[in-house]
């Protein structure tokens, strides 16, 4: 195996396959872990170590993570998988990272493991939603110690959701009884009114687009977990928001990155001052792989600033991390 061996729980899922490929390209050894051994053995790489395990069998997780230097959880719904996989990683004494975009699962991780993971490393939402936005807000903040508000606008050319995205969305809607979430006044609120609609002036070539405001993603959990910003608002282009909830929208292609493009536009305001940072790239699922694998590399190399349950912007040098994503993510500002 490689210098470091990383266990990927959910290795045969859509995002999990991108993560496995990224790890292999960087020279990591991969322990491919999941419930379905047949799907694990059907993966196209011959150098993986296959280990069957399920979240309702703690002993199987312990066996699966034996010898691993870190664990990446890519198997949703994370409301079901995060806690047992974190517990197993803590028992194994190795860092845990996941790619959860589920707000409730991320909140659960901070609340449940804040004390339990003292001295360990647990990084939830180390993905396109939650991780990238948090890094961008942190980098934009720069030498400010706080801000009045942070706005994170997602401009997607379209959104063909995976089966996992649909399943996670269903779990989240059930947990919040159909209400929506926003972060305002320094706290999470549950609301039953409609999402506000407006236009957002994205940088060229995207330009002005219709967006849904308070389309809350994992950033409303990760950013406030370590930054003194009482108003954190996320936006989604209306076309993408409609596609992700339309049953007829097809899934993304299974054989590599899709043609989907994204622009993430972050504006941070304090008093009368404003700072802005923009990231652009391709395929929100595929780009999660370099995000979480870069994070694993930095954790294992000791390039971290904090331990416990931590978000990306808290544990890493945000500006340096974003620069390392080039050329797949272009960051300006």
For the chain, the average pLDDT equals 96
Q: Is 51 exposed, middle or buried (0-12, 13-18, 19+ CB in 10 A)?
A: buried
> For position 2, what pLDDT does the model report?
54
Q: Are 297 and 126 spatial neighbours (Cβ–Cβ below 8 Å)? A: no
Query: Identical fold at 5-128+287-332 and 131-284?
Result: no
pLDDT at 205 over 90: no
pTM: 0.97
Q: How far is the C-alpha of 221 from the C-alpha of 203, rounded, in Å?
A: 26
> For position 72, what pLDDT does the model report?
99
> For position 254, what pLDDT does the model report?
87
pLDDT confidence band for 1 (50 / 70 / 90): very low
Q: Are 221 and 125 spatial neighbours (Cβ–Cβ below 8 Å)? A: yes
What is the domain partition of the chain in residue ranges? 5-128+287-332, 131-284
Using one digit for the tens of pLDDT, what is the confidence trace for 30-67? 999 999 999 999 999 999 999 999 999 999 999 999 99
> For position 3, what pLDDT does the model report?
85
> Is 3.40.50.11810 the CATH classification of the domain at 5-128+287-332?
no
What CATH class does 131-284 carry? alpha beta
Side-chain half-sphere CA neighbours of 317 within 13 A: 7
Q: How far is the C-alpha of 222 from the C-alpha of 218, rounded, in Å?
A: 6
> For position 204, what pLDDT does the model report?
84
pLDDT confidence band for 231 (50 / 70 / 90): very high
Displacement of CA 227 from its chain's centroid (Å): 18
pLDDT at 255 over 90: no
Using one digit for the tens of pLDDT, what is the confidence trace for 15-36? 999 999 999 999 999 999 999 9
Displacement of CA 30 from its chain's centroid (Å): 20
Mean pLDDT of 151-172: 94
Displacement of CA 221 from its chain's centroid (Å): 11
Helix (H, G, I), strand (E, B) or coil at 30: strand
Give the phi and the psi of residue 284 in degrees, each rounded to 5: -65, -25
> For position 149, what pLDDT does the model report?
98
Using one digit for the tens of pLDDT, what is the confidence trace for 98-122? 999 999 999 999 999 999 999 999 9
Helix (H, G, I), strand (E, B) or coil at 324: helix
Give the phi and the psi of residue 104 in degrees, each rounded to 5: -65, -40
Distances (CA, A) of 217 to 60, 102, 134, 299: 32, 8, 11, 25
3-state SS string for 153-193: EEEECCCCCCHHHHHHHHHHHHHCCCCEEEEECCEEEEECC
State which H helix or E strand residue 15 sits in: helix 14-25
Displacement of CA 128 from its chain's centroid (Å): 5
Mean pLDDT of 198-214: 94
pLDDT confidence band for 229 (50 / 70 / 90): very high
> For position 319, what pLDDT does the model report?
98
């Amino acid at each position: 195996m490689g210098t470091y061996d990383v266990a990927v729980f959910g290795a045969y899922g859509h995002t999990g396959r991108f993560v496995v490929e990224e790890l292999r390209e960087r020279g990591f050894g991969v322990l491919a872990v999941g419930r379905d051994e047949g799907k694990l053995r059907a993966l196209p790489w011959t150098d993986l170590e296959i280990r069957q395990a399920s979240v309702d069998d703690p002993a199987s997780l312990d066996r699966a993570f034996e010898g691993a230097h870190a664990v990446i959880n890519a198997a949703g719904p994370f409301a079901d998988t995060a806690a047992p996989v974190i517990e197993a990683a803590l028992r194994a004494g190795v860092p845990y990272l996941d790619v959860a975009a589920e707000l409730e699962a991320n909140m659960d991780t901070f609340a449940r493991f804040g004390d339990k993971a003292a001295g360990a490393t647990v990084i939830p939402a180390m993905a396109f939603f939650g991780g990238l936005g948090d890094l961008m807000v942190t980098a934009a903040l720069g030498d400010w110690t706080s801000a009045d508000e942070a706005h994170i606008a997602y401009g997607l050319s379209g959104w063909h959701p995976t089966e996992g995205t649909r399943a996670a969305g269903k779990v989240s809607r059930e947990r919040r009884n159909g209400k929506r979430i926003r972060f305002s006044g320094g706290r999470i609120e549950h609301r039953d009114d409609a999402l506000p609609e407006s236009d957002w002036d994205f940088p060229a070539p995207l330009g002005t687009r219709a967006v849904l405001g308070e389309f809350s993603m994992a950033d409303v959990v990760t950013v406030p977990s370590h930054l003194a910003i009482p108003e954190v608002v996320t936006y989604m282009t209306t076309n993408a928001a409609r596609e992700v909830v339309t049953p007829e929208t097809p899934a993304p292609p299974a054989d590599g990155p899709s043609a989907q493009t994204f622009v993430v536009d972050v504006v941070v305001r304090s008093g009368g001052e404003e700072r802005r940072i923009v990231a652009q790239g391709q395929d929100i699922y595929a780009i999660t792989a370099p995000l979480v694998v870069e994070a694993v590399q930095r954790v294992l190399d000791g390039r971290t600033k904090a331990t416990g349950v931590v978000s990306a912007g808290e544990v890493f040098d945000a500006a340096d991390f974003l620069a390392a994503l080039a050329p797949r993510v272009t960051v300006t500002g």
